[in-house]
Structure 1
């Protein structure tokens, strides 16, 4: 897939959570190919991924090991990225965990963890980048959510609740910081065939059932999400904020 080039993203300081695997890895690569200065966090070592990206794009990302549920560590990682690349102009809150669970299985410990990953980390990252964006005169925040809450999907109620909450957060922050020309949008992917999904959740029957819900007959790859994120990050979408962009092959219909 060939993505369009957005000249305004060249040399932009970009920060991606969970940027070394799955959808996040595709986003990191897409920004690198734009000539952006990309930093990303995740818990597992991503040195090999950075080597591969440097070879493939000629542009090496900055990897910072971080558990996003640790607020202090996340804020420090964003500060490290700003020191290396300049104040963050584009924040992509991408890291999430869709661990399956029933309501009966939800303990206080699990609830705290699930919200820390899927909601609180988004709040803290926004808090950390917005002051510099205000000083710069603008910026773009993209919150990766999911269509799962739109579908009323069962099997992970805390995850879908957090995704729904992210849309409320997105709209409120767009209103609060629009006067600073900070744009805040959400992007909701459908079922993307990442290695984790293929290993943990995708079965022939489940995939066939899902494809019947799509308007388009093709499965989604991580690269399919990258074009929408680049669009929302670029000044091309400078008049767009507080919105939820859906890329799901046509499962849900908005508007």
Structure 2
């Protein structure tokens, strides 16, 4: 049975039971996603500790307001990591989470606490990302249809649909207005992965992430669509990243 996430700061959730040991992975969910999206991952990565970021406006932070910008969100997460003294071997960001993870990695590097590896999942390089609607409900629902349609059960519950769309729209607004990326490069190793059935605007532009690192860059295509990781989490990729970090540690 998956472990109930425990809170170590406003944003950071410990998914691995107990204190955990070995290298650590920090996971950033997609727009509308929650830390619990990754709750099964500790059993898939028993040699590592798995944490996840909980964005404001959902689950145990449902009463909190959305951040003003994606940079504000990344800054708060980076400050919490630095404040708690956590050290992560890999940051993993899926879809919107890729942009948040990239900005967190950049801030940690600027603070003298660089993360060795960043894994980008299902996200076009920032300058090439497809247009993102965030105001009109019909436009947002049509946009979501490309990636993961809202279920008929949720659509049948207007109050629930409105609540869910409220924080999805807030997340999409963060992505749509994210422009502060053009001159940012990391020293971290970056791996960018996309599903072979993902939308062309993402699948064809993951390789452009190479512009954002001075370290090694790898681009991978895997079976599946935008949410390929529901059926096949990228466990081997993460194990390889963790093993390399362990070998290279002083």
Q: Give TM class, smaller chain.
A: 0.3 to 0.5
What is the TM-score normalised by the length of structure 1? 0.43
What is the TM-score normalised by the length of structure 2? 0.43
